[in-house]
Amino acid sequence: MDHDNSLGFQILRAIRRIIRRTSEHSRNVGKQSGVSVPQMLCLKAISEFPEGTEVTVAMVAKSVQLSAPTVSRILDKMEKSGFVVRERKSKDRRRLCVSLTKSGWQRIGNLPTPLHEQFLKRLEILDPIECLGLLNALERIVELMDAEDLDASPLLTPELEVSPVSRQ
C-alpha cells in the first residue's frame, strides 16, 4: 500500500498546510507591523473600547478570548515597546487600567487584517450545512489527535504567548 497517497496522509498534509499558513501569516504580521499576532489582537481590542472607558486586563482578555495572565504577559511586552501604558486611574486605586500610547495608536494604523477575520468572512458565504460538516470533521480530527482537553481561543496564531487557560 502506498502510504504517501493514503487518505490518512492526505488529511495530515491538509492539517500541515493549515499550520504552515498560520505560521506564515504570523511571520508576515510581525514583519509588516512589528508586533506579534497576540499583540496585534490586544492592540485592536484596546482601541475598540469606547473613548473614556477604563479598560482593564480582564476586559482585554475577554475581548480576545485569552486568559488574563496570558494577556498580562502580552501587555508587558507591549508596554516595554511603548505601545501601551498601565496606570491606576479610577477612584478604586486597585484597578489597573490599560491605554494605548501615541505610538500604540500609530501602530494600529499599520495592522493587517487578522487571518481569523479573513477566514470568518469566507466562511460566512458558505452554506450553513457545509459549515456544520466542516465543524463535525474538524471536531472528529480533534478527538483522533487526543486534543479535546486543550483549550484554544478562536484566534489563528502559533505563538507560544498563547498558553492554555486552566479549566475550572
φ/ψ of 25, rounded to 5, equals: -60, -40
Per CATH, which fold does 3-144 belong to?
Answer: Arc Repressor Mutant, subunit A (1.10.10)
pLDDT for residue 62: 92
pLDDT tens figures, 17-44:
998 998 888 888 888 888 888 898 899 9
Q: Are 54 and 97 in contact (CB under 8 A)?
A: yes
- Going by C-alpha positions, the residue among 66, 167, 154 that lies closest to residue 116 is 154
pLDDT tens figures, 47-104: 999 988 889 999 999 998 888 899 999 999 999 999 999 988 766 667 789 999 999 9
> What is the spatial distance between Cα 72 and Cα 66, in angstroms, rounded to a whole number?
10
pTM score of the predicted model: 0.72
Q: Where are the domains of the chain?
A: 3-144
Q: Please answer whether residues 155 and 162 qualify as being in contact, where contact means their C-beta atoms are separated by less than 8 angstroms.
A: yes
Number of H helices, E strands in the chain: 7, 2
Please state, as a whole number, how many other Cβ atoms lie within 10 Å of the Cβ of residue 107.
Answer: 23
Helices 68-80 and 37-48: crossing angle in degrees, nearest 10, is 90
Rounded CA-CA distance 118/86 in Å is 31
End-to-end CA distance of the chain: 46
* pLDDT reported for residue 160: 44
Instruction: Give the pLDDT score at 156.
Output: 63
Residue range 109-123, pLDDT digits in tens: 878 888 888 899 999
